[in-house]
Structure 1
């Protein structure tokens, strides 16, 4: 395009932009040189620099949508909105923030956080969802990421409860997403999800059930009390394979924070093992990082269980 043409037809610039936000590269492609960009973005000029390499085609306060568009353009092709900006794109307008706009990019890409944009590299990029012309993460990912960034329990509770109450995401979906996410900032959303789930024993248990469903082993029951032949309570393991007398325990550190908690865990396992129950222990991070190893361990112990007499215990009730 001949240099200067854009100056006589301002619709060219507007048409090349996304909601009035445009990259310097896009401006160059329609003949707007660096000098013209600099003059128009100078104090009192009709444009402004929104982010490095990103121009806003007016000089008023940027809207939340313009900031979100700018964040995606700044973080480049594979970036998606998440957390509060993502929730706003999904229609949760009251969670829209005039503060940070969070974006996710693939782990092998490099882009630094700047100004109001917080860039998070992740090995677990979500599916891209188009919402109002914006690329955003799935709603469940946005909700959990927003919860991880919330510093007050009441705020986290209000946020996640609204997502669930609208019926767009279930408590189980939130729990699985949280179990698969990074551990940074998960304390508050973990507590809220357990509340919403009516006192679920552990967020990691939902991920454990999903992993187990791919194992090909016989059906497992979860959180059912076991008793001995005299009807005495033995334990309530996270998972139980009744045909061989195998207990599966998910070792969540949050239940071992005190000496008393740790002692209770040891005594419970000792009771089971004394009765001949095979106890398989799994750490929550293994469910996320190496589910194949978890399944292999369960399979090996199940086979071991078939090679010895079944212990004289039963499901209670």
Structure 2
């Protein structure tokens, strides 16, 4: 039998019992199902149903959360071969190998966010596609366009936007300040992503002009700093580094304020400065100021070790070695200028 030969009712039943119950009209035609048969099977009270334009669920009854996700992806152009292997156009050209991915609140639910609602309760599912894709929002599918797609994360076989991008798309559609704050705070507190990545995506989406988003970002930055400080404390303790003075301000005797540092070893003139990164995105003028401050401290003979939250999370042993090396090298350096150390 060729693909142009209509299938018998028995074979249609067998197709509906396969592992993939959500298929496009094009995929059904590749199985030999004619357009007339699709229309007949999707009639009112029939055994199939059209979930979205050109996307068919091969059974009656309400679709599951996974079936809705697959329907949205297929509608947006996430084709699958008859064998069930995701098609990956663009791999040879360096384009994103996934032509569509779930984003927004649905993606956060898939990433395991407690503050995100369950999939069955979502009236609409956001799907991220290239800006050039000719497809419009329809039914439960809301199309979100981007000039370039990020690298998708596979969650139970579903391509999902990274947390930071999914957060930005969710916040763009959310006017409730409490919900926005809960989502951003959970992203950092539960280790889903770093604050700097979230702020960067919010800026890219031009969302920092909204007052309730700005308030939520302040909470996000505070949460991220507290988490980074805890990682720094743990690194010093677990790797048996000498106890520093924590969170202090440095001043020249009778002179100007030199700035605050997160940890300082006065006998070694070594300081640790946590670079949470969020300041860079919130105010471009602050970053050159931080660089000038570091240069000033090092000009006075104080070694400044800059650590990021990601470094402390992913490679604490390596960062402890960096600090230990700086402490040991203090004996080979010229004595640092005297500074006054004050609690911050």
Same fold (TM over 0.5): yes
Aligned to 1:7: 9
1:246-298: CA deviations, max 9, x gaps? xxxxxxxxxxxxxxxxxxxxxxxxxxxxxxxxxxxxxxxxxxxxxxxxxxxxx
Q: The residue matched to 1:151 in structure 2 has which SS?
A: coil
Hey, what does 1:182 align to over in structure 2?
205
Displacement after TM superposition at 1:89 (Å): 2.2
Unaligned runs of 5+ in 1: 201-223, 246-313
1:167 to 1:110, Cα distance in 2 relative to 1, 3 A: same
- Match among 99, 109, 131 for residue 107 of structure 1: 131
**Quick check: 1:124 aligned with 2:148?**
yes
Change (3 A) 1:24 1:243: closer
| 1:238 equivalent in structure 2 | 286
Which residue does 2:108 correspond to in 1?
Answer: 87
Q: In the TM superposition, what is the alpha-carbon distance from 1:155 to its structure 2 partner?
A: 1.1
Shift in Å at residue 199 of structure 1? 8.9
What is the CA–CA distance in structure 2 between the aligned matches of 1:183 and 1:167, rounded to whole Å? 24
The 1:88–1:238 alpha-carbon spacing in structure 2 relative to 1, beyond 3 Å, is: same
Give the SS at the match of 2:139. Answer: coil
| Contact 1:13 1:30 survives alignment (8 Å) | no
1:91 Cα shift? 2.8
CA distance in 1, matches of 2:209, 2:62: 33
2:183 alignment partner, one of 159, 163, 167: 159
What is the aligned partner in structure 1 of residue 158 from structure 2?
134
- Aligned counterparts of 1:92 and 1:234: Cα–Cα separation in 2: 41
Q: Count residues with an aligned counterpart.
A: 224
Instruction: Tell me how far apart the structure 2 counterparts of residues 124 and 194 of structure 1 sit (CA, whole Å).
Output: 28
TM-score norm. by structure 1 comes to 0.60
Could you give the per-residue CA deviations for residues 87-145 of structure 1, whole angstroms, max 9, x where no partner exists?
Answer: 12223374334211111111222211111211121113111111112111112211222
SS of structure 2 residue aligned to 1:102? strand
Cα deviation for residue 52 of structure 1 reads 0.5
Q: In the alignment, is the contact (CA less than 8 A) between 1:178 and 1:186 conserved in 2? A: no
- The answer to whether the aligner puts 1:42 opposite 2:48 as a matched pair is no
Give the CA deviation at 1:74.
0.4
Relative to structure 1, the CA distance from residue 88 to residue 7 in structure 2 (aligned partners, 3 Å threshold; closer, same or farther) is farther
Q: Which moved more, 1:86-95 or 1:42-51?
A: 86-95
Q: Return 5+ residue gaps in structure 2 as ranges.
A: 79-98, 225-247, 261-284, 297-338
Shift of 1:147: 2.0
Matched residue SS, 2:145: strand
Aligned to 1:262: none
Task: Verify the 8 A CA contact 1:6 1:30 in the aligned structure 2.
Answer: no
On the 8 A contact 2:55/2:74 being kept in 1, the answer is yes
Structure 1 residues 315, 229: CA separation in 2 closer, same or farther (over 3 Å shift)?
Answer: closer
Kept in 1, the 8 Å contact 2:24–2:56? The answer is yes
CA distance in 2, matches of 1:125, 1:315: 50
RMSD, aligned CA: 3.4
2:169 equivalent to 1:145: yes
